[in-house]
Chains A and B, each alone.
Chain A
Amino acid sequence: GESVGLHLPTLSVQEGDNSIINCAYSNSASDYFIWYKQESGKGPQFIIDIRSNMDKRQGQRVTVLLNKTVKHLSLQIAATQPGDSAVYFCAEPHNQAGTALIFGKGTTLSVSS
């Protein structure tokens, strides 16, 4: 069945380091992926998305890489800041007809000063 999973439940980095959060997906037909950030007590916040016709997409301090061959997605955060501390989820659509999403379990990023 469809599922979106993450390699590591937690990641601890020093302020200023680059962070890489990984995600493996199982549905090879998925053509859209999204990364969300969720801070404690808040709803998920959209970070960046990528469609399957792209391998890489860059935002402000964030880059998403998509490797369709091995069904792997990663989120890179440059110069990680304490404010980046949160749980990060990758997500893919429930199907191609709408915006219902399937989420992985999340990676908790902790940034120390």
Chain B
Amino acid sequence: DAGVTQSPTHLIKTRGQQVTLRCSPKSGHDTVSWYQQALGQGPQFIFQYYEEEERQRGNFPDRFSGHQFPNYSSELNVNALLLGDSALYLCASSLFRAGTNTEAFFGQGTRLTVV
């Protein structure tokens, strides 16, 4: 049973460029959340996708956008990259249950470095 997989594992981009990160959820999961983790900090929630729509969003600018595909996989796009966007980007998947919270499983992350 494959867990949450993310690609690529590492990425170096230049300021002003755009980047796309990818995530495949754990088998049987239908909800994907993205987090940004700066060095020495806890993960910060970016947004969550369910049924191909953004359902919740954290305090991140519109430069951060995403998409969920019919097979539940997801992409995170960041435009006009800033040096401060350098971080570990984590994807977490879970199974939606109305009115309750369920366990979220994390991938290994994509290490993005902006130079």
A residues near B (Cβ < 8 Å) are: 4, 31-32, 34, 36, 41-46, 49, 89, 91, 93-106
Q: If A89-B42, A105-B42 touch, does A97 touch B56 (CB 8 Å cutoff)?
A: yes
- 24 A-B residue pairs with Cβ-Cβ distance under 8 Å, sorted by A, are A36-B106, A43-B4, A43-B90, A43-B106, A44-B43, A46-B105, A49-B103, A89-B42, A93-B101, A96-B100, A96-B101, A97-B55, A98-B56, A98-B96, A99-B96, A99-B101, A99-B103, A99-B104, A100-B56, A101-B92, A102-B45, A103-B44, A104-B42, A106-B41
Q: 8 Å CB contacts to A: which residues of B64-115?
A: 90, 92, 94, 96, 99-109
- The complex places the Cα of A31 from the Cα of B101 at a distance, in Å, of 9
- Give B3 Cβ to nearest chain A Cβ, in Å: 9
Pick the contact of B90: A44, A102, A105 (CB < 8 A).
A44
List chain B positions with a Cβ less than 8 A from chain A. Answer: 4, 31, 33, 35, 40-45, 47-48, 50, 55-56, 58, 90, 92, 94, 96, 99-109
Residue in A31, A45, A95 whose CB lies within 8 Å of B106: A45
- Rounded to whole angstroms, the CA-CA distance of A100 and B92 in the bound complex is 9
- Tell me how many residue pairs across A and B have CB atoms closer than 8 Å: 78
Q: Do B94 and A99 touch across chains, with their CB atoms under 8 A apart?
A: yes
CB distance from B40 to the nearest CB of A (A): 8
CB distance from B57 to the nearest CB of A (A): 9
Distance in angstroms from B22 CB to nearest chain A CB is: 15
Contact of A32 among B48, B58, B101 (CB under 8 A): B101
Contact with A106, one of B4, B42, B90 (Cβ below 8 angstroms): B42
Cα distance, A4 to B43, chains bound together (Å): 12
Q: Complex Cα distance A94/B47, Å?
A: 10
Chain B proximity of A54: nearest CB distance (Å):
14
Q: Is the CB of A98 within 8 A of B42?
A: no
Select from chain B the residue with minimum beta-carbon distance to A102: B45
Report the 7 A-B pairs with minimum CB-CB distance, sorted nearest first.
Answer: A103-B42, A43-B106, A99-B94, A32-B101, A99-B104, A100-B48, A44-B106
